[in-house]
Structure 1
Amino acid sequence: MPPAVPPSPLPHSDEPHRQGLAQRLNWLRAGVLGANDGIVSVAAIVVGVAGATSDLGPILTAGIVGLVGGAISMALGEYVSVSSQSDSERALIAREKQELRDMPDEELEELTGLYLAKGLRLETARQVAIELTEHDAVAAHLSAELNIDEADVVSAWHAAGASALAFTIGALLPLLAILIPPDPWRVPATSLAVLVALALTGWTSAQLGGSSRRKSVLRVVVGGVLALAATYGLGSLLGAAGIG
């Protein structure tokens, strides 16, 4: 009788069962948020200044300052956020490893209990716990107890760098768009370029994340319209008052 063929570990290749999913999603989140923030914040700055003055000097200065300050702010915020998360996860991993060294029998019983709570029979739960412990005890406990994969602990430096880079790339679009056209077309051309770019980032994030593309595009585009309208209106009022 031929040996049974084990089932494929990936029966649905289009589903997110692969290792490193959390890390990839974190990179996606940081990249999309960074790009959107870069597009919207710098566009709002340059459009607002353009509403107050047609002089390219102040517009360029404000745009560059906004780009640099925003990239640093995004990187710092992402670093602090991811550092807190990864420090907590590493502490939990270290504690779990210590418990497995100090009291392996108790940990095996705990793992059995976890699978009992999921609905398995006692014999099945114990067998599953034993086999998973023999294969990789740390991974088994991290998954069942804490829903953590040791390979998915994200680097704060990588997240910060990705966020700053994405912000910079996004910010360059409105900065270039406001500088290239002649004066009467600066604000309309920049607004159009920004809204198209926001629609693309919203569509891309939804496509990669498996969410509704229409909702994602609508959210970012409406937000961009509100930001541009608010800052251009404020800049126009300040310019009319002689403050710009």
Structure 2
Amino acid sequence: MPNSKLDLAHSPFYIPIQPQEWPASRMPPRAGVSSFGIGGTNVHMILEGLNPAVRDDHDQVRAPVFIPLSAPSFEQLDELTQQLTPLLATLDASTLAYTQQVARPVFDCRRVIQVENDGTQAMLASLDNLMPDAPWGLHCPDLRTTNDGTYAQWLAHSAHYQREATALTALLDGMNIPPAYCHAETWAAQASSSLLIRGCQTIAALKTWMNLLPTLTLLSGAGTGLLPAAAASGMIATQDVLHLLWEMEQKGASSLAS
């Protein structure tokens, strides 16, 4: 029972002595919790109710969200995936993506979940030491000697990669080059023989990684790998890079023919 010497009747405070309903009001509910130790250690804490965050209407029309996951082993990665994916039905996917990227350690076994605007989820990739480390950036190998499209094969079915590829094919279409180059669905078959297509794959992959990892700001390259890095970072216009790669490819074909 409250101390009878406390004049609570003429104050805005009261001490509940039994469970009771907490009526809703304009203000968030607040409560004080006190603990008095026998040794003289006293703790008082004020709690305030947390109102559910109001989601921005723009969330419904934003681009798909990419959520990076990592764990020390693939077994633990599967467990983490099973734990987190059900939460996407109630949590803001962009908030979860930010937390996983910024506030969680990075391990060797990695995976990316793509969440579309309608809430559907797709496994984007299972990556073992292949996701770039955002603070250290991403290095593009020489396109003349490397045919991996900077992980394009793991990203090619992501919605963001497809949008970037569509934009690149539109640029190619305006360059007066053979129509066969202007179809992203044929890039995988053409990449081994076309410097231009390898460049397109790399540019699309770099821009997809930059969308997946907002803190990925450092891009570098070796040899011709500098060109996609410059295009993705905006240092050189993408159309100019495509022209350069096309000219280099044609010169290479001419030298082989002679």
Q: TM-score range by the shorter chain?
A: under 0.3
TM-score, normalisation: structure 1: 0.26
**Larger RCO: 1 or 2 (CA < 8 Å, sep 6+):** 1
What is the TM-score normalised by the length of structure 2? 0.25
Structure with bigger strand share is: 2
The structure number with the bigger radius of gyration is: 2
